C-alpha cells in the first residue's frame, strides 16, 4: 500500500505526535490548527505545554469552542457526526506543565515560549536530554537567531525554525528555516508537516527576520524615520502606502497592531547584533512612545488612539 502514498504524505506521516511548548497567542494557534487539521482525520496527537496553568485552560477552551463552531458548519446536517468529530479531535489534544515529560513521545517539538534567548537555550538543552533521538526541534522565534537558540543542543541536524504568523489558523504562510547543520531529511519533514497543516511553506536561511520580518521591520523603521524628519505625517504615510501599493494597512497601523514594544524589542536586538546596519537603527520616536506606555492597539494608544 506504501506505493499509494506520495513522498510528502509519507514524510508528514512520520510526524505523528507534536509537542507545542508555550501555549499563548502563537502556540495556542499552532495547537488549534493541528487539532483541527490532523488530530481526528489522521490519528495524530498534540500536547500543549505552558508554565502557566491558566494559559493552558484558556487555550483548551478556545480550541474547543472554535472546533464546535467549525464542526457545526462542516457537518451541518448531522449533529451526531459533528459531535464525534469534535470529541475525536479533542481526545487527541492534551495539556501539561511539564515540558521534559511531554516530549517523551514527540516526533516534533514546536517552541513558542517568550522571546528570550537565555530561556529558549535553557529549555532546548533540557529537551535535548529528555526527547527521543529522532525528535525534530523547531523554534517559532520571530527575531532571534535559530543557530543561537540551538547552541546547547547536540541534535543540530534535527533543528530548525518553523515561523508561523498571527493568527495562526488564518494566516497561510509558514517560513521553514535551516541552520547550516540542518539535514535535508529534517527540512523535508518540516515542509511536509507544514503542508499537512494546510500552510504554504517558504524556505529561508537563518538570517535576521527571515523573509517577512527582514523586509517588514526596516520598512516600518523607514516610515518612522520619514515621519521624524518631518517629510510627511503619520496619517498621510499610511494613506499613501495603502492606496499606492494596495497594502491592507499602512506602516503605522501595522506597527500599532503588532505592538510597539514588540517592534522596539526586535529592532533593539538587531541593532545590538548589527550596529553598522542603518536599516536596524532604533527610531527615537518609537522608544519614546514605548516609554510612555503607548504600545499600540493593546494599550489603547500608539500612533493612533483606540477605544478599549
Q: Interface residues with ligand NAI (CB under 6 A)?
A: 21-27, 49-52, 55, 99, 112-115, 119, 123, 140-142, 163-166
91 is catalytic: no
How far is CA 256 from each of CA 112, 243, 252, 263, 288, rounded to the nearest angstrom? Answer: 22, 19, 6, 9, 14
β-pairing verdict for 108-111 and 136-139? parallel
Q: How far apart are CA 203 and CA 211, in angstroms?
A: 9
Catalytic site residue from 60, 115, 163, 253: 163
* Contact between 97 and 125 (Cβ < 8 Å): no
Which residue's CB comes closest to ligand NAI? 24
Nearer to ligand NAI (CB atom), residue 177 or residue 286: 177
163 is catalytic: yes
- Per the document, the length of the chain is 308
Nearer to ligand NAI (CB atom), residue 71 or residue 149: 149
Burial state string for 87-120 with b = 16 or more CB within 10 A and e = fewer than 16: eebbebbebbeebeebbeebbbbbbbbebeeeeb
Nearer to ligand NAI (CB atom), residue 31 or residue 289: 31
175 is catalytic: yes
Catalytic site residue from 175, 255, 299, 301: 175
213 is catalytic: yes
Q: How far is the CB of 295 from ligand NAI (least distance, A)?
A: 13
Nearer to ligand NAI (CB atom), residue 95 or residue 186: 95
Burial of residue 21, with CB atoms counted within 10 A of its CB: 0-12 exposed, 13-18 middle, 19 or more buried: buried
Catalytic site residue from 142, 145, 255, 299: 142
Q: How far is the CB of 182 from ligand NAI (least distance, A)?
A: 19
Q: Which residues are catalytic?
A: 142, 163, 175, 213
Amino acid at each position: 500500500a506504501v506505493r499509494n502514498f506520495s513522498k510528502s504524505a509519507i514524510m508528514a506521516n512520520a510526524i505523528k505526535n507534536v509537542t507545542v511548548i508555550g501555549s499563548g497567542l502563537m502556540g495556542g494557534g499552532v495547537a488549534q490548527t493541528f487539532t483541527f487539521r490532523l488530530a481526528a482525520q489522521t490519528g495524530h496527537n498534540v500536547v500543549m505545554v505552558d508554565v502557566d496553568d491558566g494559559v493552558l485552560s484558556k487555550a483548551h477552551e478556545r480550541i474547543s469552542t472554535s472546533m464546535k463552531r467549525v464542526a457545526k458548519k462542516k457537518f451541518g446536517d448531522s449533529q451526531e457526526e459533528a459531535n464525534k468529530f469534535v470529541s475525536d479531535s479533542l481526545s487527541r489534544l492534551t495539556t501539561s506543565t511539564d515540558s521534559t515529560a511531554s516530549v517523551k513521545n514527540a516526533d516534533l517539538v514546536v517552541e513558542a515560549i517568550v522571546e528570550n534567548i537565555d530561556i529558549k537555550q535553557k529549555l532546548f538543552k533540557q529537551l535535548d536530554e529528555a526527547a527521543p533521538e529522532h525528535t525534530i526541534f523547531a523554534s517559532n522565534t520571530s527575531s532571534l537567531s535559530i543557530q543561537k537558540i540551538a547552541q546547547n543542543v547536540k541534535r543540530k541536524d534535527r533543528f530548525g525554525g518553523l515561523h508561523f504568523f498571527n493568527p495562526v489558523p488564518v494566516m497561510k504562510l509558514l517560513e521553514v528555516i535551516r541552520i547550516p547543520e540542518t539535514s535535508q531529511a529534517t527540512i523535508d519533514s518540516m515542509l511536509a508537516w507544514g503542508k499537512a497543516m494546510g500552510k504554504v511553506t517558504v524556505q529561508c536561511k537563518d538570517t535576521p527576520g527571515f523573509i517577512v520580518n527582514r523586509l517588514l521591520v526596516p520598512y516600518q523603521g523607514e516610515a518612522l524615520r520619514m515621519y521624524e524628519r518631518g517629510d510627511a505625517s503619520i496619517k498621510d504615510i499610511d494613506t499613501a502606502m495603502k492606496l499606492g501599493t494596495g497594502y491592507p494597512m499602512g506602516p503605522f497601523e501595522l506597527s500599532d497592531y503588532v505592538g510597539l514594544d514588540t517592534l522596539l524589542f526586535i529592532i533593539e536586538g538587531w541593532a545590538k547584533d548589527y550596529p553598522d546596519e542603518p536599516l536596524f537603527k532604533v527610531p527615537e520616536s518609537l522608544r519614546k512612545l514605548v516609554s510612555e506606555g503607548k504600545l499600540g492597539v493593546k494599550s489603547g494608544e500608539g500612533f493612533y488612539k483606540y477605544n478599549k
